[in-house]
Structure 1
Amino acid sequence: MKILVVGGGGREHAIVHALAQSHHRPKLYCAPGNPGIAQEAALVNIPADAVRELADFAEKENIDLTVVGPEAPLLAGIVDIFEERGLRIYGPRKAAALIEGSKSFAKDLMLANGVPTAWYRTFTDLQEAKSFVREKGAPIVIKADGLAAGKGVVVAMTLAEAEDALEAMMGEKVFGEAGTRVVIEEYLEGQEATVMAFVDGKTIRVMEASQDHKPVFDGDKGPNTGGMGTYSPVPLATPELYQQVEESIIRPVVDALREQGTPFKGTLYAGLMLTKDGPKVIEFNARFGDPETQVILPRLQSDLVDVMLAVVEGRLHEIDLSWKSDAAVCVIMAAEGYPGSYRKGELIHGLAQVNENVFVYHAGTAEKDGQIVTSGGRVLGVTGFGKDLASAKASAYSGVEQIHFQGAHYRRDIADKAFKS
């Protein structure tokens, strides 16, 4: 069996590593991949958004299954193109992926189907948006409607912060066309949790929960990033919560998308705020989260190839997921300056020094003269494992201490909320 994974970050490294454990013993390819992924898959020099070129490669190499990691190729219609050529591919078609590609589409879908979420208004006019913010007051949440690599959300604690965010998104176009339309939302209080689910258009299999840490600094301070670390399991995620999330959040959305002729197949990601009134949706994504995948897939006991094939073939009802009891904590080591402009090309030391309870997922790395250097903002996802969260956290940070590159920074409080809940 030949499997192609599309993408080149930490999430894709986690997907490749999980697929490599399959009893199918697949021959793995990754486009474009990274030096860490190269340990387990043949790298293919095709960008993740070159969707027709990827389809050509899959045809030529007789790829049995393609797995899409990032959101951009999904919204470029990669699944539509592959399916039209009779190629098996894991992920939603473009029309269903719009649940991530347009926050206003997602909010309208939730409103129409009774899914609990924050109140919201959508704006395309900067002055009207500013007037609305002044009317509502702070704290308030400003979101670029389109894709912004996880950075298009500002939790504004003051009116000045809210107006600055609107000016940056709509006036200065810091996120390009993604900020032409903005969604202004109610500020929700509580702890965040991520619940992802395998979906085959009809059947749902909910994964274990994780908790991401978006702000760049300890104590949830500073600007939002693509994610500075995560952990699983989440103590707040009770059996009752899983049932509530599946029945009142994921099921209505899956049914609505199918009924409107755009069934969702792949991984549906629900970013939640656990409020005093129950879970409310912050956002939906149309793929595996990053860095959530780095703690979820290592805990999956079921064979990932079997699960993905069941999704693609519409027989997920045949699969029951099983999970390891072990905990996982992932700490992101970021480049100097991230999430703003950051340095590249710094030599990474100590990757071979981590102990057996640690796995290092490459996110923003490259190879230069036979050595591994930094090439992205989020460079490494250092993931520790243990019988419980305390030992997994200790493993993760022991791994971080072994690794060095100029200007590296990371949060020191990943998973601390688990011990306060």
Structure 2
Amino acid sequence: IVVKADGLALGKGVLIPQNLQEAEAAVKSIMEDKTFGDSGNEIVVEEFLTGPEVSVLAFTDGTAIVPMVSSMDHKRAGDGDTGLNTGGMGTVAPNPCYTPEIAAACMETIFLPTLSAMRAEGCPFKGCLYFGLMLTPGGPKVIEYNCRFGDPETQVVLPLLKTDLLTVMRAVENETLGDLTVEWHDGAAACVILASGGYPGGYEKGREISIPGDLPANVTVYHAGDMRTEDGKLVTSGGRVLGVTAAGDTLEAALKDAYAAAGRIDFKGMYMRHDIGQRALRALEG
């Protein structure tokens, strides 16, 4: 089973016990020890599903829907998918597990029915709709919805968007998305999250960050858990501090450039996963 805090927990309020004893400990941790604060005042117990996870962000004007390039998140804090769940330690796009056949099935059984159901309830949605999917042996299942760009999926999806983003946004607002052809670059993108030591548990803030000024043009550093001090220094202020993203002709090239850039950035206690994208590379080889 899966035990979740029912409130907002910044992507961290999920525990996956392996037996009844661990399940009881999970409930105590969330509800009595307040591991996730007030977000654990109520909990949800769900069936544990197996299979590759896929994130699909989509533009929608309430009727038409345009899925973006699929992506693969890496939720666990440590290499080899070990440690606690986090808000995401890195991403790659596209996700090789998300085949055209699966995409077509998701469109017919998940994406369009979701929009139809919201219209039927009198609350049509316009904007960016996030589908967190699991490709189970019984077919694609929805793990979560979100009504915004996902983090850190957006960091690898938007660099691959060829059509001007503002043009897409206007089509969404004007409800003319069905008339627009949204194009994407070939290739791939990879993002490596640089986190504060101790995250997703306790960590220190205020540690000065060093970022070189000559990173390659295909590398983007997304600022997340950092801030400028009064004297102009860049320091850490959160758990996931920076997202280092690179785009390339292949996933292997994108990963190489993202890790090379990440290796040139430094702050005390900085840590990252060293296996982002390895599952995706194995899927491409298989």
Which range, TM-score by smaller chain?
over 0.9
Residue 257 (structure 2) pairs with residue 395 (structure 1)? yes
- Cα-to-partner distance string for 1:194-240 (whole Å, 9 max, x where unaligned): 01111111111111100000010011111100000000011111111
Structure 1 segment 340-379 matched on structure 2, within 5 A: 340-368=201-229, 369-379=231-241
User: How far does residue 353 in structure 1 lie from its aligned partner after superposition?
Assistant: 4.1
* Secondary structure of 1:240 counterpart: helix
User: How far does residue 401 in structure 1 lie from its aligned partner after superposition?
Assistant: 0.7
Q: Please, which moves more after superposition, 176-185 or 280-289? A: 176-185
Unaligned runs of 5+ in 1: 1-139
CA distance in 1, matches of 2:247, 2:163: 18
Q: Which residue of 1 aligns with 2:273?
A: 411
User: How far does residue 245 in structure 1 lie from its aligned partner after superposition?
Assistant: 1.2
Give the TM-score taking structure 2 as reference length. Answer: 0.95
* Secondary structure of 2:80 counterpart: helix
Structure 1 segment 241-390 matched on structure 2, within 5 A: 241-368=102-229, 369-390=231-252
For 1:375, give the aligned amino acid: S
User: How far does residue 160 in structure 1 lie from its aligned partner after superposition?
Assistant: 2.9
CA distance in 2, matches of 1:205, 1:317: 8
Aligned residues: 282
For 1:387, give the aligned amino acid: D
Answer yes or no: is the 8 Å Cα contact 1:205–1:320 preserved in 2. Answer: no
CA distance in 2, matches of 1:312, 1:399: 37
Q: Which residue of 2 aligns with 1:87?
A: none
CA distance in 1, matches of 2:267, 2:196: 8
Q: Which residue of 2 aligns with 1:133?
A: none
Q: Which residue of 1 aligns with 2:31?
A: 170
Residue 91 (structure 2) pairs with residue 223 (structure 1)? no
Give the TM-score taking structure 1 as reference length. Answer: 0.65
User: How far does residue 170 in structure 1 lie from its aligned partner after superposition?
Assistant: 2.4
CA distance in 2, matches of 1:156, 1:354: 42
For 2:273, give the aligned amino acid: R
Q: Which residue of 2 aligns with 1:125?
A: none
Answer yes or no: is the 8 Å Cα contact 1:295–1:330 preserved in 2. Answer: yes
1 or 2, which has the higher helix percentage? 1
Structure 1 segment 38-117 matched on structure 2, within 5 A: none
CA distance in 2, matches of 1:158, 1:357: 45
User: How far does residue 279 in structure 1 lie from its aligned partner after superposition?
Assistant: 1.2
RMSD: 1.3
Residue 20 (structure 2) pairs with residue 159 (structure 1)? yes
Cα pair distance change 1:255/1:203, threshold 3 Å: same
For 2:270, give the aligned amino acid: A
* Secondary structure of 2:144 counterpart: strand
* Secondary structure of 1:402 counterpart: coil
* Secondary structure of 2:199 counterpart: coil
Answer yes or no: is the 8 Å Cα contact 1:300–1:323 preserved in 2. Answer: yes
CA distance in 2, matches of 1:251, 1:381: 32
User: How far does residue 164 in structure 1 lie from its aligned partner after superposition?
Assistant: 2.1
CA distance in 2, matches of 1:208, 1:198: 11
Q: Which residue of 1 aligns with 2:56?
A: 195
CA distance in 2, matches of 1:270, 1:413: 24
Answer yes or no: is the 8 Å Cα contact 1:215–1:228 preserved in 2. Answer: yes
* Secondary structure of 2:222 counterpart: strand
CA distance in 2, matches of 1:285, 1:324: 25
For 2:198, give the aligned amino acid: G
User: How far does residue 309 in structure 1 lie from its aligned partner after superposition?
Assistant: 1.4
User: How far does residue 319 in structure 1 lie from its aligned partner after superposition?
Assistant: 1.6
For 2:248, give the aligned amino acid: G
- Cα-to-partner distance string for 1:167-211 (whole Å, 9 max, x where unaligned): 222233343443233221111111111011111111111111000
- Cα-to-partner distance string for 1:2-26 (whole Å, 9 max, x where unaligned): xxxxxxxxxxxxxxxxxxxxxxxxx
* Secondary structure of 2:163 counterpart: coil
CA distance in 2, matches of 1:383, 1:353: 15
CA distance in 1, matches of 2:187, 2:274: 21
* Secondary structure of 1:273 counterpart: strand
For 1:238, give the aligned amino acid: T
Residue 11 (structure 2) pairs with residue 150 (structure 1)? yes
Percent of aligned pairs with the same amino acid: 51
